[in-house]
Amino acid sequence: MRIGFIGLGVMGAPMARNLLAAGHELQIHRVKDRSQDLVDAGATAAPSAAAAATGADVVILMLPDTPDVESVLLGEGGVLDALKDGALVIDMSSISPVRTEQFAAAVTEAGGQYVDAPVSGGEVGARDGALTIFVGGEDAAVERAMPLLEILGARITHMGAAGAGQATKVVNQIIVALTIEAVAEGLALAEASGIDPERVRAALDGGFASSRILELHGARMVERAFDPGFRLRLHRKDLRLAQDSASHRGIALPGTETVAAQMDEALSRQWQDLDHSALFRLLIEDTR
């Protein structure tokens, strides 16, 4: 299958590698030094989004934020300028659910099909083809996308119509953010109480407080290892989507507001490219 793939960052590049390894033909846009190996392995570098989409059966987007998707999809030299009739657009970025519905309508009007399929699982999940994928779109489009999604993910769930995948990702990011904050606060209190936080983490494993975040990000906190698996600035962007969605739907998210404020403080200290587990640093540095 000929695939246009746009967005080769921390997540996008390993996803593209898995598609290439599965035998698909890739036309890739936004090639950087860290993704040059894709060209060496046979992918074609495209100078624009339109060039990546030209002749493609499927176009996959893996971009940082809603404005990026809007520009790449609808802007001058964008995907819709070159989308062939009947082509499928799969947006795997994490963006606004409301805008996603509008993007889906624009692609449909242009003669294509649209699926939103944001992911969870971080760089490791992207590399291992083990992502969790939340899917929105019409049944026929999702069925068509599924063979590609199965290369990229281990758990794939069709959540509903276009935008439902993005709405589910927003829910995921709320729960992850609040759990990171809970783990950070618990381990910070353990440390302040003179208890080895690693022993606390191990003691809680298997109990009611056990979680993947306690296991992985708890270890990052104990080791002070905040090199990015998922950057703070990107998670803050996702919480902004949550706040916007909550406002649009008329509900309150008080816990999300609290953690968003913590992230804002971290960003003010220029920690935007640290892992989101670096929220722990706020607690231990501010108590010294």
The tokens describing 185, both together, are: 């606060």
132 vs 117: CA distance, rounded Å: 10
* Residue that the structure tokens 């607690």 belong to: 283
Catalytic residue among 32, 84, 169, 237: 169
Instruction: Report the 3 state secondary structure along 141-200.
Output: HHHHHHHHHHHHEEEEEEEECCCHHHHHHHHHHHHHHHHHHHHHHHHHHHHHCCCCHHHH
Residues 6+ apart with CB under 8 A from 127: 14, 17
Angle made by CA atoms 148, 151, 152, in degrees to the nearest 5 = 95
Closest CA to 78 of 51, 99, 102: 51
- Catalytic status, residue 169: yes
Residues 90, 62: Cα–Cα separation, whole Å: 9
Whether 173 and 95 have beta carbons less than 8 Å apart is answered as no
By annotation, the residues acting in catalysis are 169
